[in-house]
Amino acid sequence: MTVSDASEKDKAVDLEVIQGRLAAIEQRLENLEESQPEDKVALIIFSGDLDRVLAGFVIATGAAAVGQEVSMFFTFWGLGVLKKQTVLSGKNLFEKMMAVMSPDTSKNLPVSKMNYFGVGAKMLRKMMKDKNVSSLEEMIDMAKEMGVKMLACEMSRDVMGISDDELIDGLEPAGVGSFLGESLTSKTNLFI
Amino acid sequence: MTVSDASEKDKAVDLEVIQGRLAAIEQRLENLEESQPEDKVALIIFSGDLDRVLAGFVIATGAAAVGQEVSMFFTFWGLGVLKKQTVLSGKNLFEKMMAVMSPDTSKNLPVSKMNYFGVGAKMLRKMMKDKNVSSLEEMIDMAKEMGVKMLACEMSRDVMGISDDELIDGLEPAGVGSFLGESLTSKTNLFI
Amino acid sequence: MTVSDASEKDKAVDLEVIQGRLAAIEQRLENLEESQPEDKVALIIFSGDLDRVLAGFVIATGAAAVGQEVSMFFTFWGLGVLKKQTVLSGKNLFEKMMAVMSPDTSKNLPVSKMNYFGVGAKMLRKMMKDKNVSSLEEMIDMAKEMGVKMLACEMSRDVMGISDDELIDGLEPAGVGSFLGESLTSKTNLFI
């Protein structure tokens, strides 16, 4: 064997080692790329207060407007945003009581402070209109048109006895797992 | 030097350069891999309202059930979830006043809306039971069994004068730094 | 062509292929590195309750203290934290009503529970002082000194008619886009 032959062999070995390292690197890169959170937003709308819900929709429509994927999980009082009417038949006593004391549609959501039996909420809506800010109902429509995913928490619906007839169209059923799945791949997660 | 010798040398140089680039790439990959947030969840339980706290535990136990690491930081009103009793001796006047006006255990947490001196909270608990949803106390036990880390905020405890005797077992002391550390490596962070 | 020549050519091809793979890998790495969220914190301060706002500032100053970049977006009731006075002239009727019913400065923020017309807030401030915890105003100053970015939501200011004269200095104007931008690159996002 000449010196040149030996170095030839070394280089062949080197090349093989290098190709091995490259393959390993490419696999690690792929794993990293696949596990990256995306420019997505996942919001839990727990609150049923007009002011907090509005903040949620400003964020949702703002994100959708710049091309971000947005999911909104409506749970507990937040389900009030999705109601188009209250249907008492089929509800048990407690469910009826809760339904009667809760807003029947998004139009009657209270504000979290200074509500004064709805006067505060009306005042806020008037102030928004005066400044040409979209109303909650307009924002809900905008969000839907922009492809914002709207999910209704099954467990809350079950506990409160809210039927399909009471909710607006275009909702997807969801559990805590749906939110957790979305939140793993979303860069922005908020509990509102 | 023949042409072949020159090309041999070039290739040796190339191999060295390649190995340098590989090493640099591997280092950058390692840095990236180490700084990746994990499939973890970090929750701040600030609220002491039954409804909000329940939402927190549904998320915590849901995430733990699918193998995610979960930390819950109980601060301010949220410390009420961790109380097993109220011990007045050793408290100063303000601490006593606050203790007397606050729920003595998780069983007496109010709901954030329509509480009506505890009637709302009882109603919610009854509605959950009717639909076979675990009670808050069952969820707390489940969370502990599933290895959810439960941390009690030292600063809030200090300000409110809450003694060890008043809190359930199995808690870790924590400050804002503990939360920030967890949140840096968690994909889901929520303020509840 | 000899065998050696052929293998020479193969190796040259190999090297070229390897260099191509390396360049592709380096590009992917760069893309990944650039899209990594940073050790930053982005907080939306929606609430104007002393207790919740304090939690926000404890997190903000705690994060800034360990070198994290922090942004606080004050919106809706949270704008109350930034008020140095109330100026009624120039406001319309609803804006005046809202201004008169809202805290005029951070010193008069209520607590979210047991406020009893401000007694609860005073009590909390006293309890914090007794335990040598910084007051809200001290925390605001600390946050500013530490370089925490403080942003005031333009849309909320517009709706409520809050003028520049009413707000403290050193604020940056902001919209939902500013928050979304920060939140994409922040590891910790919270809605408070």
ipTM (interface predicted TM): 0.92
pLDDT value at residue B22: 94
pLDDT exceeds cutoff 60 at C1: no
Cβ contacts of C28-34, under 8 Å, gap ≥ 24: C28/A29, C28/A33, C29/A29, C29/B25, C29/B28, C29/B29, C29/B32, C32/A29, C32/A32, C32/A33, C32/A36, C32/B32, C33/B28, C33/B32
C29 has a chain A CB within 8 A of its CB: yes
pLDDT value at residue B4: 64
Comparing CB atoms, the residue among C29, C101, C158 nearest residue A114 is: C101
Mean pLDDT of B39-56: 97
pLDDT band at C2 (very low <50, low <70, confident <90, very high): low
pLDDT exceeds cutoff 90 at B1: no
pLDDT in tens, B5-29: 667 777 777 889 999 999 999 999 9
pLDDT in tens, A22-78: 999 999 999 999 989 889 999 999 999 999 999 999 999 999 999 999 999 999 999
Mean pLDDT of B179-192: 96
pLDDT exceeds cutoff 80 at C10: no
pLDDT in tens, C79-108: 999 999 999 999 999 999 999 999 999 999
Mean pLDDT of B86-92: 95
Size of interface A-B (CB pairs under 8 A): 93
C36/B95 Cβ within 8 A = no
Cβ within 8 Å of residue C174, ≥6 positions away = C73, C151, C152, C153, C154
B6 has a chain A CB within 8 A of its CB: no
pLDDT value at residue A13: 78
Contact between C71 and C43 under an 8 Å Cβ cutoff? The reply is yes
Touching A (3+ Cβ pairs <8 A), the chains are: B, C
Touching B (3+ Cβ pairs <8 A), the chains are: A, C
Percentage of residues of chain B with pLDDT beyond 90: 88
Residues of chain A with pLDDT under 50: none
Q: How many angstroms separate the CA atoms of C16 and C14, rounded?
A: 5
pLDDT value at residue A2: 62
Mean pLDDT of B152-179: 95
CA A36 to chain centre: 18
B66 has a chain A CB within 8 A of its CB: yes
Mean pLDDT of B36-59: 96
pLDDT exceeds cutoff 80 at C35: yes
pLDDT in tens, B91-104: 999 999 999 999 99
Amino acid in position C91 = K
Q: Can you give chain B as a three-state secondary structure string?
A: CCHHHHHHHHHHHHHHHHHHHHHHHHHHHHHHHHCCCEEEEEEEECCCCHHHHHHHHHHHHHHHHCCCCEEEEECHHHHHHHECCCCCCCCCHHHHHHHHHCCCCHHHCCCCCCCHHHHHHHHHHHHHHHCCCCCHHHHHHHHHHCCCEEEEEHHHHHHHCCCHHHECCCCEEECHHHHHHHHHCEEEEEEC
Q: How many angstroms separate the CA atoms of A28 and A20, rounded?
A: 13
Kindly list the residues from chain B whose CB atom is less than 8 angstroms away from the CB atom of residue A155. 58, 133
Q: How many angstroms separate the CA atoms of C145 and C140, rounded?
A: 9
Kindly list the residues from chain C whose CB atom is less than 8 angstroms away from the CB atom of residue A66. 177, 180
A5 has a chain B CB within 8 A of its CB: no
